[in-house]
Structure 1
Amino acid sequence: MKKFEFSMDKILDLRRFEQKQAEGELGKINSQIAALQNQLKEIAASHARVVEQGRGCKDFSFISQSQQYFTLLDAKKEELFKQIAELEIIADQRRQAVKEAMQKVKVLEKLREKKFNQWKEDVLKEEETEAEDIVTSRFGFKE
């Protein structure tokens, strides 16, 4: 009995590799987005700390510096939002690439499965035919 061979195995391997590459790129973009979101959280926490320190404070210098600091934090926050928006667009493109790669792999896997099932049926038919031939030949010699 011959071994099952799928003529498009190398193409399937290539498609799987492309899928893993696309998933890796998406993962990198998502980690960049997460890092920027963490920076936003740090900015919010920093803002809250300064507000807490300034409660009940009557020092004009501290209040003035706090306002300037808040302006700086707002500018940083706006820049981070801009970067996140740009990365979200790229992430959507990467998600689409992953989806397409997954579809290509799935098509080839289904084709491989179909070919394997056909091969299995052919092998079973061949084995049945051989068994029938053996049985027929044994009965044929006795007569």
Structure 2
Amino acid sequence: MKRFSFNLEKLLQLREFEEKNAKTELAAAISAADRIRLDLRDTASERVRVNKNRNENIDIRGLMALENYVRRLDLRKEELLEQLAAAELCVEEKRTLFTAAMQKRSVLDKLKEKQFALWRKESMSAEEKAVEDAAYGATNTKENL
């Protein structure tokens, strides 16, 4: 019996490649969103630290400088929140693409499994038939002698 071969093997390999790329892109998008979250957390921590130091500074120039710094931190926080929203949208888009790529590959995997099961069944039947023919042939040969 001939070896099993899947006609759409090249297409399956392409789908696997596309799935791997989609997974990599999703991981990169998640990583970018996580970096933004870390920056946001660091900015919030810095604002808390500066607010604690406000009471220690009595000099008017120092207070004005701290107030300007706090405003800058607030602006940075707003920028990071906008970036985070965009990054989250990107993550969802990449997740959708990854899911679609997974489904496309999965369909071909299932088709390959079905074809393999059918091939195996036919192969077993052919093998059983060959054994039966051999056994029947040996029986006929003994009777003729």
Do the two structures share a fold, i.e. TM-score over 0.5? Answer: yes
Q: Deviations over 1:78-133 (max 9, x none)?
A: 11111111121122111111010000011000000000000100110000000000
What TM-score comes out, normalization by structure 2 length? 0.93
- The answer for the alignment partner of 1:42 in structure 2 is 42
C-alpha separation between the residues in 1 aligned to 2:22 and 2:8? 21
Q: Shift of the alpha carbon at 1:62?
A: 2.3
- The sequence identity of aligned pairs, in percent, is 34
- The answer for the alignment partner of 1:26 in structure 2 is 26
**11-20 vs 29-38, which moves further:** 29-38
The number of aligned residues is 143
Q: Shift of the alpha carbon at 1:56?
A: 4.2
**77-86 vs 53-62, which moves further:** 53-62
Give yes or no for the alignment of 1:54 onto 2:54. yes
Query: 5+ residue gaps in structure 2?
Result: none
The residue type paired with residue 31 of structure 1 is: S
- The answer for the alignment partner of 1:137 in structure 2 is 137
Moved over 3 A (4+): none
The residue type paired with residue 4 of structure 2 is: F
Equivalent residues in 2 for 1:68-79, closer than 5 Å: 68-79=68-79
Q: Shift of the alpha carbon at 1:26?
A: 1.2
What TM-score comes out, normalization by structure 1 length? 0.95
Give yes or no for the alignment of 1:113 onto 2:108. no
C-alpha separation between the residues in 1 aligned to 2:108 and 2:82? 40
SS at match of 1:5: coil
Q: Deviations over 1:66-87 (max 9, x none)?
A: 1111110111111111111112
